[in-house]
Structure formats: structure tokens, C-alpha cells
Amino acid sequence: MPQNLKLYVVLSYLLIPISLIFAFLDIALFISALANPSTLIMVFIIACLVIYTFVSFKFLKLGIQREQPQSNKLKDWIKLNAYVSLFLCAVLFINSISILVSTNATLQVFIDEFLLQQPTLPAELNSAFILTLLKGLAVFLLVVSSIGLLHIRTTLRLVKEYDYLFE
């Protein structure tokens, strides 16, 4: 394995637990999508991120590290899921940045409107708690989307570079 791929290997191993979290989220979304079919597109997009992670990891372990020939089908799976995952990571990145640069007063207005629409929420879920949760989630998704964007960009470059491995 080339020496310059150490960051890519680290990012690949970081994406695996993230993808497992997204897989469990996707299962829960799928169950709710049975009642609301319009959410199936989100189920599909999240599933693409999970599939991308594991097919790119297979390409890393078998193709790049072992120099074993790979099928063209794997290349197609990587590319298709990479483009959909690129879209998801870009949206998550932009949303995270917009939440983190917003003032607390601006976010507080949206949170208060949300709480007014949800009268059955427990009293423990006050606006200060939701604001803290929202900021923490934004930081987490910013890190996840940054890892995803960097990994996808590198994977697409490596697929071109190691094109000779695909039969």
C-alpha cells in the first residue's frame, strides 16, 4: 500500500462506525416510511451512504492493499453510491455551518415555534436544552460530513488511479 494513503485508511475506519449509526437510523426511518412514503427518498439517500462506506472499504482492502482484480460492478457501486453520498454530505455540511453561524436568538425563535407546534412534548425538553442539543448535533454532523466529503473525493480519485484493477 502506498504511503500517501494513510489518511484515507484512517478516514475509512472512521466511516465504519458512523455508517453503522446511519444504518440503524435508516432502519428506523424505513419503518416510519411505511406510514409516510414520501420519506422513502431519505431512506434511499442514507442507505447509499452506508453502502458506499462498505463497498469503498472493500475496494481499499482487496483492491488497493492486496492488488486483487475487482469487478466492474464494484466500480459502478462505488461511483453511484459516492455521488449520492456526496450530495448527502454536502447538504449536511451546509446545514451544519448554517446552524453554527446563526445566533442563539435566531435559533431560539425557530425552537420556540417548534415547541408551540408540539404541545405534548415533556417539560424537560425546554428551549435551552434543545438549543444545546441542536448545536452539539450540528458539530457532530459537520465532522461527519467533512470526513465523508474528503473520503468520497479521495475514493473517486483512487478509482480512476486504480482503474486497471477493474475487469
Q: Which domain holds residue 86?
A: 3-165
Residue-level pLDDT at 98:
97
Count of domains for the chain: 1
What is the pTM assigned to this prediction?
0.90
d(CA 98, CA 90): 12
How many C-beta atoms lie closer than 10 Å to residue 59's C-beta?
23
Q: Which amino acid is at 75?
A: K
Residue-level pLDDT at 125:
83
Low-confidence stretches of the chain (pLDDT < 50) are none
